[in-house]
Amino acid sequence: MPSERSTADDRGKWLLYLGGWLLLFAVTIIVYLPGLHGPFVLDDFSSIARLGDFDGVRNWETFRAFVFSGASGPTGRPLSLLSFLIDGNNWPTDPYPFKRTNLVIHLANGVLLGLVIAKFLEALGYERSAMRGISLLCAAAWLLHPFLVSTTLYPVQRMAQLATLFMLAGILAWVQARMLLLRDPRRAYVQMTLVLPLFTFLAMISKENGILLPVLVGVIELTIFARKGAGFGALDRRWAAVFVWLPLGVIAAYLGERFFRPNFFEAMPPRDFSIYERLLTQPRILIDYLQNWFIPKLYTTGVYQDHVIKSTGLLTPATTLASILVHAALLFAGFRLRARWPLVSLAILFFYANHLLESTVINLELYFEHRNYLAAALLFLPLAAALWSRLDRRVFALLSLAVLAMLGGFTRYSATIWQTPAGIVQASAMKAPTSARAQSQYALLLLAAGQPDEAFRVFDEAIAAIPAEKPLLRINKLTAQCDLGQLDATEVERVSDIVSTKVFDSRLLKLYNLFAKSVVQGNCPEVGLQTVLPMFTRMLDVPQNAQQTSIEYTHIKFLIGYVQLYLGDIEQAMAAFEDSLAARPGASYAMAMAALLATTGHPEQALYLSEVALTQLDTENNTTLIGRRANEADIREFQATVRAEIEAQQGSSNGPQAP
């Protein structure tokens, strides 16, 4: 039996371990505190802002409409959308609760990561003190790493956080069951059979890459439990075939189908790269991810990542081939070292398995930091274990504290930048001089601050520095010039000659509309709508823009209709609006046009398009043209208002005549 002294020592070590976790929570909260008061950014406005589409989520119908009609991915991510209701049920709303909940989830993920790592170490035969020390250090480094700031403080990345939460919980539950296999195989298989599908499903309805959970379980089996001499018994091949190999086969088939598509070498708007180019570029990006993890930066480019240069060949740029060779060597090492250095093998294969979807052939943005939220979770594990085994405990503790202090300091600095919109934009613009988005936002920030000369300098330098023509920069600059009364027709025609020859970027619809609206309002007297109209009509000379079922065609026709409406040509405007609706039916599309017609004195046409909207409620598209999503109640209310105005006008015109 253990002596009283050993029991007291164990209790003391446990309390020290618990105290370490409590201190880590406190430090993480303090480090992130400034950023909790920061703004919503970018995709927050397309996902969370939908809270206001039906005047808030206030009953079952609006609850169902918000939670089960998500457009962020194939599943709709209803669990993530449901979680947003913890923090707000209308729009506009305060971003603080959303960021606070994200931080709570980040802390919960840190705990799960620590428990998972402890289980891995237990399976490998590490003593309890090692399990506690190594797992706490790895979880702390992950919680405090500055590369994860943009995931934690970006409310919409709750989706990545929740997927990670359920994947870590699923891994923990599966590992616990797997360790029972020799002692109680029936219980082990029942638990594994229940937890793996359950947590995969929960992760998937948070974000689609949750489907990778069975693949990650396969990596853990290969590196921890199936090693020669591991002593855990072999996993039943039939069970593995159904619960690990079948999901992997589905994922491989899905990715393979995209690989063999005929448009593999063609750029697919709104992207300016092909899947082939994306596949070539990702090895360089993965190297950048690893560099940012092992050599932390005081601040990264954050949410603005459009400055990444795509690879167009193995040697363009030359780092493409070199990066591919590095990854090939790491993957080879990952498979070869699993018997001798299982933690090294686990960290390597776990990283690549997590990037299987988002860093291969799916047509996503090239680069995002949040893709490493789970992928990087085990990268420090082999190093921490090696330091534990080679260093004196005091030296290990001091070195760990020094590393964590550095990471925490960097993260605190980043969180401070995330405290204000100006801080985010200015820091990103400085970090990424070739990011059209960052430079545009920075120039607009300067304009708002009353510094137009400096703003136009930023616009001009960015246009000169960025190799590809970016309509985002040029149209923002045109709008700014118009708003300041500095725009003339010659400049509009010059820019029109450039942007009208490009495939239309559907993400810029509101920007083009804002420019046209500025002209309509007479902000730049030397520019008329007749000068603006050719910018849009000539876009239809580009074959892809002219495809009558494309989103590009829909948006261009809407812009043509908008300009024709304010030119006073109602017939041409209606024809353009109807062409737009025929290409992409949708109630919100129709109501955006109906609202414009009503406000410009065309109530009959507005009523007609509102009737079209009623017939297209079931064919609602994922994105609206301008404005909020439509619902039947709003459409009926709109119609009643318009009819009342028509009756009032008729009553006024048919009133008694003077004798």
| CA–CA distance, 559 with 645 (Å, rounded to integer) | 27
- Cα 401 from chain centre: 32
The residue type at 637: E
Tokens of 585: 């039916």
CA distances (Å), 166 to each of 201, 209, 210, 308, 598, in order? 9, 11, 8, 31, 49
| CA–CA distance, 375 with 347 (Å, rounded to integer) | 9
Exposure string (b/e) for 123-161, b if CB count within 10 Å is 16 or more? Answer: bbebeeebbbbbbbbbbbbbbbbbbbbbbbbbbbbbbbb
Residues 6+ apart with CB under 8 A from 423: 416, 417
Q: What is the pLDDT of residue 658?
A: 38
Task: Tell me which DSSP letter residue 505 carries.
Answer: -
CA distance from start to end of the chain: 117
Q: Report residues of the chain scoring pLDDT below 70.
A: 1-9, 619-628, 652-659
Classify the C-alpha dihedral 596-597-603-606 as positive or negative.
Answer: negative
| Alpha-carbon torsion, ordered 614, 49, 204, 118, to 10 deg | -170
User: Locate tokens 């964590």: which residue?
Assistant: 404
Picking from 514, 517, 586, the residue whose alpha carbon sits closest to that of residue 551 is 586
Q: What is the pLDDT of residue 93?
A: 92
CA distances (Å), 315 to each of 104, 185, 312, 523, 542, in order? 44, 53, 8, 49, 31
The residue type at 223: T
Picking from 489, 494, 550, the residue whose alpha carbon sits closest to that of residue 519 is 489
Please provide the size of the chain in residues.
659
Tokens of 544: 């892809």
| CA–CA distance, 193 with 191 (Å, rounded to integer) | 5
Q: What is the pLDDT of residue 623?
A: 46
| Alpha-carbon torsion, ordered 54, 58, 64, 68, to 10 deg | 70
Map out the domains of the chain as residue ranges.
Answer: 8-417, 433-578, 585-648
**Which residues is 316 bridged to in the sheet?**
313
| CA–CA distance, 134 with 10 (Å, rounded to integer) | 17
| CA–CA distance, 15 with 246 (Å, rounded to integer) | 44
Q: For residue 409, with 0-12 CB atoms within 10 Å meaning exposed, 13-18 middle and 19 or more buried, which class applies?
A: middle
Within 568-631, residue ranges assigned H as helices are: 570-583, 587-599, 603-615
| CA–CA distance, 468 with 503 (Å, rounded to integer) | 13
Q: For residue 590, with 0-12 CB atoms within 10 Å meaning exposed, 13-18 middle and 19 or more buried, which class applies?
A: buried
CB 155 within 8 A of CB 200: no
Tokens of 613: 């909207």
Could you tell me the pTM of the whole model? 0.90
Tokens of 610: 């509102």
| CA–CA distance, 360 with 256 (Å, rounded to integer) | 10
CB 347 within 8 A of CB 378: yes
Exposure string (b/e) for 434-469, b if CB count within 10 Å is 16 or more? Answer: bbbbbbbbbbbbbbeeeebeebbebbeebbeebeee
CB 120 within 8 A of CB 224: yes
Residues 6+ apart with CB under 8 A from 546: 540, 553
The residue type at 172: L
3-state helix, strand and coil shares in percent for the chain, rounded to the nearest 5: 70, 0, 30
Determine the Cα angle at 295 with ends 294 and 301, to 5°: 110
Q: What is the pLDDT of residue 659?
A: 35
CATH hierarchy code of domain 433-578: 1.25.40
| CA–CA distance, 524 with 487 (Å, rounded to integer) | 6
User: Locate tokens 């309805």: which residue?
Assistant: 205
CB 142 within 8 A of CB 195: no
Exposure string (b/e) for 197-207, b if CB count within 10 Å is 16 or more? Answer: bebbbbbbbbb
Picking from 207, 103, 92, 111, the residue whose alpha carbon sits closest to that of residue 155 is 103
| CA–CA distance, 478 with 151 (Å, rounded to integer) | 33
Backbone angles phi, psi at 322, to 5 degrees: -60, -40
